[in-house]
Structure 1
Amino acid sequence: MLTFFRNFFKTKIGLALVLAFLVLIGFAFASMDVSSTGAFGGVAGGNRVAVVGDEKIGTAELSRAATEELERVRQENPTATMQTFLAGDGLNDALASLINRIALVEWTRDFGLRAGDNLLNSEIRQIPAAAGPSGAFDENSYRAFLAREQLTDQRLRELLGASLLAQQTLIPAGFGATIPESIARTYARSFKERREGSVALLPAEAFAPTGAPTDAQLTAFYEENRSRFVRPERRVIEYALFDASSLGDAIEPTDAEITAYFRQNAARYAASQTRSFTQLIVPTQAAAQSIAERVRGGTSLAQAAQGGGLRTTAVNDASRADIREQASEAVASAYFAAAQGAVTSPARSPLGWHIAQVRSVDTTPARTLAQARDEIVTALREEKRVALLSDLSISIEDQLADGATLAEVARERGVSVQRTPPVLANGQLYGRQENAPEALAQIIPVTFQMEEGEPEIGALPGGGSYVVYQVGDIAPSATAPLAQIRDQVIRDWRQLTGAQRAEQAAARIVKKVEAGASLSQALASEDVTLPPIDDVNISRQELAQLGDRQVPAPIALLFGMAQGSVKKLEIPRNNGWFVVELEDVELDRLDDSDPLIAQANRQLGQAWGSEYGEQLAAAMQADVGVERNADAIEAVRRQLLGEN
């Protein structure tokens, strides 16, 4: 039977039937995908959010890129959520970054540019986190770095390769960019520009409604602005602290231990002597002997050294062992045989012949066991504390590995389990202006990577104590129910409504000023009390003197307007609107030797260089071709929000 089918499929009729059957299977899979997702672009593994040249970007890849980008955002803002990230157009930014990278790789490949394995290996070896204790590249450190950054070796090589290709193409495109002298002069002269105008403030509070919204208004506002009311993820941390108090009397040394320690460190408690010297080293024994005789005759050692073109050095509080180690046994014997104030006999070391004058002798008498007991007890207690705490941590770690709970570990050792209120990822207690206990500061980031009820143990700073901790409760990031935040929603409704009315008022004021009214007259026509107008008279040079301080937004707008114009400007976070009027523009004279010209040339050259790089990146995309699938992108967005 099998032979019959093999022979049949070799015929033209059999081959045609096979091809038709394969087409039917493919159509069935495509139909099933469309029927299950409603449109091309669901989140199944074969769907594509974009095609860049010959490279396809899958939904899984975009989802991973968005998650990685969110993690980078959380390094600066630990309470950032996927909802706020996507509301800020983060998904499109992540996709744009993917497209830029892939277009760069595709385009450079077409022109024969590459980042080879040897170059990538060299870059990887320079990663500081991949270095071992010796400072050289270490495979284990590299693997730990990859795990910590949630990367694979292949993924890291892809990212490094794209970065190296960008260095070969985009950076040279803008390097050394220059601008015409006439443009530099025009730009430099703008620093001599002085502008006069007025700024009116229209705060949202002045226009906010005083009454409460209806239930319908409040519900509609809540539904339209759900992203405003997202609560960040918060976690309750359960923990137990273990320090020396958990060890009881076990850290107290016994008499036998004290005696043994005294015997093992007998040299420390024996009589000892340290000396300070003025020292001279000469090349020959005869020269050393001659100088020693001159010093014994009344000449100072320093004078004798100067007579031979030499210099003395000081040795302070040195023991016999110190001199032996630094010079030789012969020198140590000579230095410690002489009386205080005397000159030592010449003695040899690898450096030459030594002579010295003894400046001081400090003798410490021997101590008995009774005299040293308190010091020994303190030292032994610290040694036992460190060792027993280490043993305790290992014992607890073994218990946890065997399935013991936090409560069982704490109960066995007589310590209590404590619970924090809900904590945010940045360590702040949810809903309060205070932080979690200082002892938990280092473990809070770890707890936001853990599952509930899986205890871990960690050492606290200083090494004097340990903490066993686990996540008790997890409240995921989500929009808060309206009933729980009704007062907050009402406040936001008032503020947003006030901001919208302030915008309408700003538009009316702009229209009246453009029709010939003064700014003060236009403000007076409003039915609310507004702050007085601020008059502005400032030059660009004065703005530059602000340094790193941010230029106020209305002033920045003033320097972007045409003379005689009036514009409105939104205040961030729905706090109201500005109305800005530019009345006069003056330009001072610019000398040919003014350093502002060279400064303008440098600044504009850098800006033009960056623009060249951006234009080249855009040209790369146009050359290789980019197609986006809006349905698939939306499907990824829904998946990241948990709406699928």
Structure 2
Amino acid sequence: MLKTLRSLKNSKLGIVAAIAFLVMIGLSFAAGDISSSQQFGGVAGGDRVATVGNRKLSTAELASAATNALEQLKQENPRLSMKAYVAGGGIENSLTQLIDRAAISVFGASHGVIPSERLVDSEIAKIPAFQGPDGKFSEAAYKALLAQRGLNDKAVRQDLTDGLVARQLLVPGAFGARMPTEVVRRYAALLADRRSGAIALLPAVVFAPSQEPSAAQLAAFYTAHRGAYIRPERRTIRYAVFDESAIRNVPAPTEAEIAARYNANKALYAPSEDRRLSQLVLPSEAEARAAVASGQSLEALAAARSLAVAPLGPIGRAALAAQASPAVADAAFAAQQGKLVGPVRSPLGWMVVRVDAIAARPGKTLDQARAEITADLAAQKKRTALSDFSARIEDEFDKGGSLADVTKELALPIKEAGPLTADGKVYGVANQSAPAELARVVATAFSMEHEGQPQLAEVVPGKTFVVFDVTRIVPSAAAPIAEIRAQVVADYKLEQGNTAARAAAEKLLAALRKGTDLQAALGALGQPGLPPAQKLEISRQELAQQGRGTPPPLALLFSMAQGTAKILAAPQGQGWYVVSLARIVPGSDAAVAPVLADATRELSGVTGREYAESLRVAMREEVGAKRNPAGIAAVRRQLGGEGN
């Protein structure tokens, strides 16, 4: 259940993945739910779960972190509940992440690593959830989303600051790490070794009893394995999809509205000009003047000084003024195409600029822009009307309106999908899922407590909507034994056969330790139907080239000592493997050479992750972290549904 979280530190992305998770804790409110900070402020045990340096971590922060971590895990396992997350140690994992994040930030602040307000502002502006229809940062969208999630500006900025500090401190700590060459060579030799041996499979089905179990045996087996026969919860969803075509009588844009839009965006319709430029930055004015006077090309001037010509653009005058300086912009936009301009002073030095291309765009009068403005205003009016209409539907649902009432008003047929499981699959039908328009609402449908609770959701944000409810809920429960008797009988026989196969594997192991050949030992069992032992001679490289997951018995073969034998359970109780390793031939220098570079990269990555982890631990130890067991227990009780 917690595999995703615990594997972060071992992934190939290593420290980058860890940093992404640190930032995710603070930012995931943009995609998932975060509890209000008021919810855990007064639980028993105080209002903090830990103190890191001079910074306190509140119970609300831990609750939010746990909620967001659960939402991430649900992407892989939609049926995972908060209670199961808490029971599996999720609270402790989330708290450790919180403490590390805070420790890195406190350590950074004590050493002068403090992101500026402008940098934090730029990070906020990059978040898609805070952008308006024009793709730019919207203060209104920012405040609305924070209010929706129960957050405040200070908390958001703190989370972003923590992520930025982590990026600045941890990435350099792992960058450039390299494993010593001799260690890599030894490791590479292991990758190139060749092994010979034999593998025998003892299938459980071969040893399974032929006689039917008694009623008492079957009942006892079913009771002991009831969890294997649990059917998932199923829900049937009724729904109808609508878009702006459902909205009628939307008024056309007026002349006053068209004129107002034109006047508000005069800069957009004014004449404009972009230029493509090439620039060369020189250290002194005298050198720059001499370069221009020489008559040489910009590339020749750069080559003579071991410098490079940098391309710019297409770029407008205002953008160039902001990027370089107003003086550079004025000079560059006053020159003709192909001319050298300069020298001009810039923050980087003295610039010599060549005008490579000029793209002038004429402006538009109100009459010329009327068609596009009219279309934009009409589309905006339709979107507004659709949004207002959707809000009215939600209000009707809040007041007790039914799905049938709304679909009748929309003149739409009601569709039905199901029975569905929580992952969106149609129960009992292979390779069939819920319709695409329900992809966003399945999780919501499975969170409803009762049938007949209509809701509205977006299919395509701002364009297409779906109204839906749940008409039938079938709780998760074990299937009655009478309905699945044949399956239970087969499982019972397979388990009995697996037990007998284990005993036979132990006999083979004893015979091998006495020097008996594996095939001969198989024959001595006297069990008909057994597959013959498979002799193998294979290298690690050949195993990797098979292009699929390594079979467990082969993985065991490459982890054993020469002259030994071991047994291994086959997946899902299907039997037992007996693996015998006869000989190991170490990799030669010629065999090691092709894999040395890859091994260096792999082990150097491991080294970098170890450095970063050591740095993380060292920062936490330096600033000091003290946990508050009472506060942690209080959050665990609240989220896990335990009584106080």
Please classify the TM superposition score into its range, dividing by the shorter chain length: 0.5 to 0.7
The CA distance in 2 between the partners of 1:56 and 1:100, in whole Å, is: 13
Equivalent residue for 1:611?
A: 610
Q: Matches of residues 541-552 of structure 1 in structure 2 within 5 Å? A: 541-546=541-546, 549-552=548-551
Equivalent residue for 1:293?
A: none
Equivalent residue for 1:186?
A: 186
Question: 2:243 touches 2:386 (CA, 8 Å); kept in 1?
Answer: no
- Of residues 423, 436, 442 in structure 2, which corresponds to 1:426? 423
User: Does 1:600 find its partner at 2:603?
Assistant: no
Match of 1:72, SS?
helix
Q: Following TM superposition, by how much is the alpha carbon of 1:72 offset from its aligned partner in structure 2, in angstroms?
A: 0.8
User: Does 1:197 find its partner at 2:200?
Assistant: no
The CA distance in 2 between the partners of 1:231 and 1:631, in whole Å, is: 38
| Amino acid in structure 1 at the alignment position of 2:171 | I
- Of residues 441, 444, 451 in structure 1, which corresponds to 2:442? 444
Q: Following TM superposition, by how much is the alpha carbon of 1:114 offset from its aligned partner in structure 2, in angstroms?
A: 3.9
Equivalent residue for 2:559?
A: 560
| Amino acid in structure 1 at the alignment position of 2:126 | Q
Q: Following TM superposition, by how much is the alpha carbon of 1:108 offset from its aligned partner in structure 2, in angstroms?
A: 4.3
The CA distance in 1 between the partners of 2:631 and 2:395, in whole Å, is: 48
Closer, same or farther: CA 641–483 of 1 in aligned 2, 3 Å: farther
The CA distance in 1 between the partners of 2:397 and 2:482, in whole Å, is: 39
The CA distance in 2 between the partners of 1:620 and 1:496, in whole Å, is: 52
| Amino acid in structure 2 at the alignment position of 1:408 | D
Equivalent residue for 1:409?
A: 406
Q: CA RMSD in A?
A: 4.9
| Amino acid in structure 2 at the alignment position of 1:211 | P
Question: 1:192 touches 1:590 (CA, 8 Å); kept in 2?
Answer: no
The CA distance in 1 between the partners of 2:180 and 2:422, in whole Å, is: 52
Closer, same or farther: CA 159–473 of 1 in aligned 2, 3 Å: farther
User: Does 1:579 find its partner at 2:582?
Assistant: no
Closer, same or farther: CA 107–142 of 1 in aligned 2, 3 Å: same
Range with bigger deviation, 463-472 or 98-107: 463-472
Match of 2:187, SS?
helix
The CA distance in 2 between the partners of 1:636 and 1:494, in whole Å, is: 46
Closer, same or farther: CA 508–407 of 1 in aligned 2, 3 Å: same
Q: Matches of residues 152-551 of structure 1 in structure 2 within 5 Å? A: 153-206=153-206, 211=213, 214=217, 217-218=220-221, 221-222=224-225, 226=227, 232-240=232-240, 399-400=396-397, 403-411=400-408, 417-433=414-430, 434-437=432-435, 439-448=437-446, 452=450, 453-457=452-456, 467-474=466-473, 480=478, 487=485, 502=501, 506-507=505-506, 509-524=508-523, 529-546=529-546, 549-551=548-550
Question: 1:221 touches 1:493 (CA, 8 Å); kept in 2?
Answer: no
Q: Following TM superposition, by how much is the alpha carbon of 1:175 offset from its aligned partner in structure 2, in angstroms?
A: 1.5
The CA distance in 1 between the partners of 2:488 and 2:106, in whole Å, is: 49
The CA distance in 2 between the partners of 1:396 and 1:103, in whole Å, is: 48
Closer, same or farther: CA 410–136 of 1 in aligned 2, 3 Å: closer
Question: 2:218 touches 2:492 (CA, 8 Å); kept in 1?
Answer: no
Q: Following TM superposition, by how much is the alpha carbon of 1:493 offset from its aligned partner in structure 2, in angstroms?
A: 6.2
Deviations, residues 366-399 of structure 1 (Å, cap 9, x unaligned): xxxxxxxxxxxxxxxxx9xx99x96996675665
Equivalent residue for 2:104?
A: 104
Q: Following TM superposition, by how much is the alpha carbon of 1:519 offset from its aligned partner in structure 2, in angstroms?
A: 2.8
Closer, same or farther: CA 583–601 of 1 in aligned 2, 3 Å: same
| Amino acid in structure 1 at the alignment position of 2:405 | E
Closer, same or farther: CA 637–543 of 1 in aligned 2, 3 Å: farther
| Amino acid in structure 1 at the alignment position of 2:179 | I
Q: Following TM superposition, by how much is the alpha carbon of 1:594 offset from its aligned partner in structure 2, in angstroms?
A: 3.5
| Amino acid in structure 2 at the alignment position of 1:589 | S
User: Does 1:131 find its partner at 2:134?
Assistant: no
Question: 1:45 touches 1:60 (CA, 8 Å); kept in 2?
Answer: no
Question: 1:237 touches 1:469 (CA, 8 Å); kept in 2?
Answer: yes
Equivalent residue for 2:291?
A: none
Deviations, residues 99-152 of structure 1 (Å, cap 9, x unaligned): 433443455455554445443333222224433333332234445666898876
The CA distance in 2 between the partners of 1:561 and 1:142, in whole Å, is: 58
Q: Following TM superposition, by how much is the alpha carbon of 1:472 offset from its aligned partner in structure 2, in angstroms?
A: 3.4
Question: 1:173 touches 1:612 (CA, 8 Å); kept in 2?
Answer: yes
Closer, same or farther: CA 505–593 of 1 in aligned 2, 3 Å: closer
Equivalent residue for 1:282?
A: none
Tell me the TM-score normalised to structure 1 length. Answer: 0.58
The CA distance in 2 between the partners of 1:573 and 1:437, in whole Å, is: 33
Tell me the TM-score normalised to structure 2 length. Answer: 0.58
The CA distance in 2 between the partners of 1:576 and 1:80, in whole Å, is: 31
Q: Following TM superposition, by how much is the alpha carbon of 1:423 offset from its aligned partner in structure 2, in angstroms?
A: 1.9
Question: 1:49 touches 1:630 (CA, 8 Å); kept in 2?
Answer: yes
Match of 2:516, SS?
coil
Closer, same or farther: CA 240–534 of 1 in aligned 2, 3 Å: same
The CA distance in 1 between the partners of 2:388 and 2:553, in whole Å, is: 63
The CA distance in 2 between the partners of 1:397 and 1:66, in whole Å, is: 30
Question: 2:568 touches 2:576 (CA, 8 Å); kept in 1?
Answer: yes
| Amino acid in structure 1 at the alignment position of 2:183 | I
The CA distance in 2 between the partners of 1:208 and 1:485, in whole Å, is: 23
Equivalent residue for 1:74?
A: 74
| Amino acid in structure 2 at the alignment position of 1:406 | L
Deviations, residues 342-372 of structure 1 (Å, cap 9, x unaligned): xxxxxxxxx9xxxxxxxxxxxxxxxxxxxxx
Deviations, residues 441-484 of structure 1 (Å, cap 9, x unaligned): 454344345564442346767999864322335566x6648779
| Amino acid in structure 1 at the alignment position of 2:224 | F
Q: Following TM superposition, by how much is the alpha carbon of 1:627 offset from its aligned partner in structure 2, in angstroms?
A: 6.6
The CA distance in 2 between the partners of 1:43 and 1:498, in whole Å, is: 54
Q: Following TM superposition, by how much is the alpha carbon of 1:66 offset from its aligned partner in structure 2, in angstroms?
A: 3.4
Question: 2:456 touches 2:467 (CA, 8 Å); kept in 1?
Answer: yes
Range with bigger deviation, 582-591 or 100-109: 100-109
The CA distance in 2 between the partners of 1:600 and 1:158, in whole Å, is: 40
The CA distance in 2 between the partners of 1:499 and 1:631, in whole Å, is: 47
Q: Following TM superposition, by how much is the alpha carbon of 1:585 offset from its aligned partner in structure 2, in angstroms?
A: 1.5
The CA distance in 2 between the partners of 1:62 and 1:99, in whole Å, is: 10
The CA distance in 2 between the partners of 1:131 and 1:177, in whole Å, is: 39
Q: Following TM superposition, by how much is the alpha carbon of 1:176 offset from its aligned partner in structure 2, in angstroms?
A: 0.9
Deviations, residues 206-238 of structure 1 (Å, cap 9, x unaligned): 45666266477447625xx75x56655543322
Match of 2:419, SS?
coil
